[in-house]
Amino acid sequence: MLTLFYENWLSLAFCAHFITTLAVSIVMIHNHTKRDPIRTMMWIIVLYFLPVAGLILYVFFGQNYRKTKIFNRKSLKDLKYLDRMITQQLLMLRKNEIFEYYPQKSGFKNIMTLLMNNSKALLTEYNSIELYFNGFDTFAAIKEALLAAKDHIHLQFYIIQDDKIGNEIKDILVAKARQGVAVRVIYDDVGSWSLPRKYKREIREAGGSIRPFMRVTFPFLTGKLNYRNHRKIVVVDGAVAFMGGVNIADRYIDGGKFGYWADTHIRFEGETVQTLQAIFLVDWYFVSREILLRQRQRYFPGKYVDNKLLIQTVTSGPDSDWAGIMQAYFAVINTAKHHIYIATPYFTPNESVLTAIKTASLSGVDVRLMLPEKSDSKLVYRSTLSFLSELMDAGVKIYLYRKGFCHSKYIAVDGKFSAIGSANIDMRSFEHNFEVSAIIYDEGVTRNLEREFQKDIQNNSKQVNPEAHARRPAMLTFKEGVARLLAPLL
């Protein structure tokens, strides 16, 4: 009798699982018609082989919010002026009017047009920038700018930790708020999950405002857990701004368990400060419903610099119709004639970017990829290693950074063009996270970046030997293969 009951229970459970999974699969296929079919197939496999866990994972991590728009910038009527400016610049590009002043930049016309269309990225002309390649120099410059603030400080980071540098930044924010400076802080609710209430309370009690991006609270967290704000932006008085890969944590200065932490960050003056200000204020509206974009004179003072340097600041995330940064990198790689240098801590690209990199190398372009030898994520790192063989088969030279952990995220092409920002070369940055990158059309900046890359591969890295890599133990390659299968879900 007990055996019969057990068999009937198993049959019912199997039928329920099959019907539920089939229904969810049908809905998934219907909703994901514009999505990577490999990714959709992976979720279907997960649903079938992990009966309960697979459904839970899909609810939390698998929904396509680029379609459903959890955060819709189109509701902000104050951005209509941006549409007008984009329309005007697109017309100037079509008529080649911009290249009357910058004839040497005409080869980037298609990329400029792409970024205006897919992410409303204005082309700014008068800019001055300074590059930093470690957290120590970055925070020295940020603290100097914060201490000089007179009107407002806007600060947004994926990670803010209650450690030495975190408290140094907090103490400056508290002091400035007490002086009457408007202090606004956005932190990601997952990236900064350990940030204590006391830290936030001190800022608020001083008169500042600090808010989480997309709070994750059971039972309402659902897909919000998977869509995080990975941007790192600081804007001071609308005159100086910072953006790049450095978060607020001691390990970005002292290296933590890695001993040394390499990273890339940028200080801006000029017109790009206004675009970073707009990005922050749109995110601030999302977390606070406070509209500050109308206060043009205060937040967009238009501090002039006489240095000419063309930059487009591109954003991407579930709030946009297009994967803007991924498309930017794809287009950049396809324009290369001589060489491409890529630094990224995580490398799990989609098929489009992977194919573009291999095609460029097979076409005779010198493609070099720098990855960390040690990673802070074993699963992602194993997935990264699974891509190396096919890249080297296509002629890509791969270097493993050994000095510590290389968290830099940039691409430099032909000594003429570079992209620096918060986005990794991975599916999470391309599809899920809110990211920002500066597309810089300047030979001086790009060559500076390339010199740093060359120094790192010569002094701090080792090149991966294709033959040795091919002789890895079978168990290791199996683990990498499993991680590769899970790459679309990471």
Q: Is residue 108 part of a domain?
A: no
Q: Are residues 147 and 283 in the same domain?
A: yes
Segment 136-185, tens digit of pLDDT: 999 999 999 999 999 999 999 999 999 999 999 999 999 999 999 999 99
Instruction: Check whether residue 55 and residue 173 sit in a common domain.
Output: no
pLDDT at 89: 78
346, 290: one domain: no
Domain with 148 in it: what CATH number? Answer: 3.30.870.10
Q: Give every residue of the chain whose pLDDT is below 70, as ranges.
A: 1-82, 85, 217-226, 485-490
Does residue 91 lie within any of the structural domains? Answer: no
Please name the residue that has the structure tokens 């890359």.
453
Both 299 and 331 in one domain: the answer is no
In a domain, 110, yes or no: no
Q: Does residue 85 lie within any of the structural domains?
A: no
Which residues are catalytically annotated? 230, 232, 237, 407, 409, 414
- Exposed/middle/buried for 329, CB within 10 Å: 0-12, 13-18, 19+? buried
Regarding whether 474 and 421 lie in a shared domain, the answer is yes
Predicted pLDDT of residue 478: 79
58: containing domain: 2-64
What are the helix and strand counts (H, E) for the chain? 20, 18
Could you tell me if 211 and 350 lie in one domain? no
Q: Minimal CA–CA distance to 302: which of 319, 318, 278?
A: 278
Residue 220, pLDDT score: 42
Helices (H), 95-233: 109-119, 135-147, 164-178, 197-205
Q: Based on the fold, state whether residues 218 and 281 are members of the same structural domain.
A: yes
CB atoms closer than 10 angstroms to residue 248: 28
User: Using an 8 Å Cβ cutoff, are 292 and 434 in contact?
Assistant: no
Domain boundary among 64, 89, 107: 64
Provide the whole-model pTM.
Answer: 0.85
Give which of 142, 109, 139, 104 is closest to 123, Cα–Cα.
109
* Domains of the chain: total: 3
Burial label for 217, CB within 10 Å (0-12, 13-18, 19+), is exposed
